[in-house]
Amino acid sequence: MSIEVVPGANAGFDLLVAPRRVPSRDGTAPGHGELVDILRAATAVPDHGHLRPWRFVVVSGSGRSSFSDALVAGLREQDGGEVPASVSAKMAGKPDAAPMQVMVVASPVVASNIPRWEQTVSASCAGYAIVLAATALGFGAAWKSARVLDTAPVRALFAASPEEQLLGWINLGTCEQGSIRRESDPLDLFDGRVTFVGPRPA
């Protein structure tokens, strides 16, 4: 059987393996329409039971200062208030790395019989879809986290209920030319991470 190669037919695959670009600290955040498109893509992920077990919090403008304050307060809570100035400054500067952040919150439907882990995985997929959609629109996108996400000040900022989990945030914004974060590594099928049950495809 022959396979017809259609020009541009691999564009989706090319996006999946394309190098990720880092949003510029002084870049421009997605506009309303672009943000809507990015979040629409995020809701198209696998979702057993159609529960939509996620929500997103968009941080931009003056909101980045509130995010910074919450991260530092969380750091002090976690470390008992004894935080070196350099460590505090590094944590405080995280929201300044890009003009917009989208916090991904796993928000499980507790009454559902769908396992909690499946709902969390679905929310995680939504975060990755944000990265892919932003990349497709020409923005830099980088998924970030911090060890203080489960502290009271950070959870309070994002109004997280006891059942919810903050999975991290995606930095979004335009990027400088050539600002590559990482290249995808070619898969070696013999490195032990891929095995086969049944015959290996020819």
Helix/strand/coil for 165: strand
| pLDDT number for residue 144 | 97
Looking at residue 1, what is its pLDDT? 33
pLDDT per residue, tens digit, the chain (202 aa), is 333 444 556 777 877 777 778 899 999 999 999 999 999 999 999 999 999 999 999 999 999 999 999 999 999 999 987 889 999 999 999 999 999 999 999 999 999 999 999 999 999 999 999 999 999 999 999 999 999 999 999 999 999 999 999 999 999 999 876 556 555 566 666 677 777 899 988 8
Q: Which residues contact 38 (CB under 8 A, 6 or more apart)?
A: 30, 102, 130, 133, 134, 137, 172
d(CA 55, CA 103): 8
Domains (range + CATH), the chain: 20-177 (3.40.109.10)
> Distance between CA atoms of 97 and 176, rounded to whole angstroms?
13
Quick one: which of 134, 40, 147, 136 has its CA closest to 91? Answer: 147
Q: Whose structure tokens read 């396979």?
A: 3
Nearest residue to 166 via CA among 56, 48, 89: 56
Query: What are the pLDDT digits (tens) for 84-132?
Result: 999 999 999 999 999 999 999 999 999 999 999 999 999 999 999 999 9
| Contact yes or no for 169/148 (Cβ under 8 A) | no
- Please state the φ and ψ torsions of residue 180, each to the nearest 5 degrees: -90, 130
